[in-house]
Amino acid sequence: MHPGRLAVEVAKWLPEDAIVAIDGGDTGLWAHLAFTHRRPRSLLWTGHYGHLGTGLPYAIGAKLANPDRPTVLFTGDGAFGFNLQELETAARVGANVVVVINCDHAWGMEARHMRKNVGTTIGVPLSEVRYDQVAEALGCHAELVDHSDALPGALQRAMDSGRPAVVQVLVDPRRTRTHPAWTTSLPCTAPRTPEPRVARNRGVAVVTGGAGGLGRALTSALDRVGYEAVPADLNGTATGLDVTDAAACRALAEELQPTLWINNAGLSGAGALMERSDASVEAMIGVNFLGVVHGTRAALSTMLPAGRGRIINIASLAGWGPVPNIAIYSGTKNAVRAFSIAADAEIGSRHLRVQCLLPDGIATPMVDITDARHLMSFTGKRLLDPEEVADAALALLAGRRAVASVPPQPRGGGTHPRSVPIGCPAAEGADRAQGQSKPAPDHDGRGLPLRHPDRRGRP
């Protein structure tokens, strides 16, 4: 659900005489756009003072002072976490407030500013806390809402419960990237915006490495367009899979009969070629390349008899050319790209394709931006969001191309500065990692001016 849609729906539901407390960053701005207050002494909001955590105490105090008026708190999940223990106070003193949580599992305003000004985010994700379960443990009525159709009923049940109540509403975190002030006005009389239609069931989609940041984004995107996405990983998913085990990959394919298989599992890690241990080299080659081979062969074992299907192998922009300091990683991604092109050509069917996606660096725990050597793993001015790459995978799936990059790169370009066409951002990334992000020197080491030869070779 879009957070603006949530604010509009809450505004439409609010009783005429309700007292409303607002808490949070962007949550407060969405409320400011959507809510209409019809009588004095009905709004409690810190506004420009920027206080967080005041919403629940405000609401409890307002309810105790005005027991006959319905009292509602509209809050972000980050702000709510400051003083959520006061739910026990509300239950104990009989302050039956209704708390609506705009929940994106992040410090949304901070994440947006970081993406805009820094290009990545640090320390802004929040755990996927079930605030509804916390509220129940503290003696409150509580519900979890993940779709707009369920919201009106949940709000009314909360108001009628006769207890303090919490309605935790899960919103789409991708929709929090736009500042509410850049959005057109959202009057509380706005018509209901229909949810995007889900396409017909497209079958089962297996996503290896499904527990990670990109894996979760791929799973969510595929669910959205009508696949039954199955994340598979060593840990963190219901479907366990070791991609280096060819027999396990075949068994999973035989069990699920997927129409789409995305080989996303991978290992990262910077380090000079001769500094890496034998075990780390074997592990990286095993997961990054052999895991792709095993997954592709497993998927083909069921797709070939059916005569149709798709396989997408996730590589990296490092797969376009040599990259110093991540030679093993780069080598595996080059191998994935070449393997995908060859496998697709070998199959030679427009109904059964093997495609390859080569994204730039992605803002996931795999990329340690505090390690200068990891700067070689991305070429642009910022890391990509996992959702951007997932959307690119959907675009590749919908098209006919065998290989695509995110962002698109000049043809024939590698990621080593000596193999990149002039103007390719990959060169900038390579220079950054090598500490060479300066113009070519115009003097030699002794401070004497350099004389550059002209086209005829004369100084």
Which three-class secondary structure string do you get for the chain? CCHHHHHHHHHHHCCCCCEEEEECCHHHHHHHHHCCCCCCCCEECCHHHCCCCCHHHHHHHHHHHCCCCCEEEEEEHHHHCCCCCHHHHHHHHCCCCEEEEEECCECHHHHHHHHHHCCCCCCCECCCCCHHHHHHHCCCEEEEECCHHHHHHHHHHHHHCCCCEEEEEECCHHHHHCCHHHCCCCCCCCCCCCCCCCCCCCCEEEEECCCCHHHHHHHHHHHHCCCEEEEEECCCCCEECCCCCHHHHHHHHHHHCCCEEEECCCCCCCCCHHHCCHHHHHHHHHHHHHHHHHHHHHHHHHHHHHCCEEEEEECCHHHHCCCCCCHHHHHHHHHHHHHHHHHHHHHCCCCEEEEEEEECCECCCCCCCCCHHHHHHCCCCCCECHHHHHHHHHHHHHCCCCEEEECCCCCCCCCCHHHCCCCCHHHHHHHHHCCCCCCCCCECCCCCECCCCCCCCCC
Q: Quick one: pLDDT band at residue 113, thresholds 50, 70, 90?
A: confident
**Distance (Å, whole) CA 249 – CA 285:** 17
Structure confidence at residue 180 (pLDDT): 52
Could you please state the CATH topology (level 3) that the domain comprising 3-182 is classified under: Rossmann fold (3.40.50)
Task: Please report where in the chains the tokens 């350099």 appear, as a residue.
Answer: 450
Q: What is the pLDDT averaged over residues 71-100? A: 93
For residue 382, pLDDT over 90 is answered with no
Query: When comparing pLDDT for 184 and 125, which is higher?
Result: 125
Q: What is the pLDDT averaged over residues 250-270? A: 91
Tokens for 173, please give them: 């975190």
**Distance (Å, whole) CA 458 – CA 7:** 71
For residue 293, pLDDT over 90 is answered with yes
- Asked if residue 5 lies in contact with residue 148, where contact means CB atoms within 8 angstroms, the answer is yes
Q: What is the pLDDT averaged over residues 212-230? A: 90
Structure confidence at residue 399 (pLDDT): 87
Tokens for 312, please give them: 């997408």
Q: What is the pLDDT averaged over residues 250-269? A: 92
For residue 167, pLDDT over 90 is answered with yes
Note whether 3-182 and 204-433 share their fold: yes
The rounded mean pLDDT for the chain is: 79
Query: When comparing pLDDT for 281 and 49, which is higher?
Result: 281
For residue 421, pLDDT over 70 is answered with no
pTM of the full structure = 0.50
Amino acid at site 270: A
Domain boundaries, the chain: 3-182, 204-433
Tokens for 290, please give them: 């052999």
Q: Quick one: pLDDT band at residue 350, thresholds 50, 70, 90?
A: confident
Lowest-confidence region among 97-106, 169-178, 348-357, 428-437: 428-437
Structure confidence at residue 187 (pLDDT): 38
Query: When comparing pLDDT for 320 and 223, which is higher?
Result: 223
Q: Quick one: pLDDT band at residue 219, thresholds 50, 70, 90?
A: very high
Q: Quick one: pLDDT band at residue 7, thresholds 50, 70, 90?
A: confident
Q: Quick one: pLDDT band at residue 424, thresholds 50, 70, 90?
A: very low
Structure confidence at residue 349 (pLDDT): 85
Q: What is the pLDDT averaged over residues 62-83? A: 92
Class assignment of domain 204-433? alpha beta
Q: What is the pLDDT averaged over residues 130-136? A: 93
What percent of the chain has a predicted confidence (pLDDT) above 70? Answer: 76
Structure confidence at residue 264 (pLDDT): 95
For residue 431, pLDDT over 50 is answered with no
Structure confidence at residue 25 (pLDDT): 83
**Distance (Å, whole) CA 101 – CA 81:** 10
Indicate the length of the chain as a whole number. 459
Structure confidence at residue 120 (pLDDT): 73
**Distance (Å, whole) CA 71 – CA 430:** 57
Task: Please report where in the chains the tokens 């290992």 appear, as a residue.
Answer: 267
- Asked if residue 350 lies in contact with residue 393, where contact means CB atoms within 8 angstroms, the answer is no
Lowest-confidence region among 79-88, 100-109, 443-452: 443-452
**Distance (Å, whole) CA 292 – CA 263:** 6
Half-sphere exposure of residue 381: CA atoms within 13 angstroms, side-chain side: 6
Q: Quick one: pLDDT band at residue 347, thresholds 50, 70, 90?
A: very high
Lowest-confidence region among 137-146, 219-228, 359-368, 408-417: 408-417
Tokens for 179, please give them: 């500042």
For residue 183, pLDDT over 70 is answered with no
Q: What is the pLDDT averaged over residues 430-454? A: 39
Query: When comparing pLDDT for 37 and 316, which is higher?
Result: 316
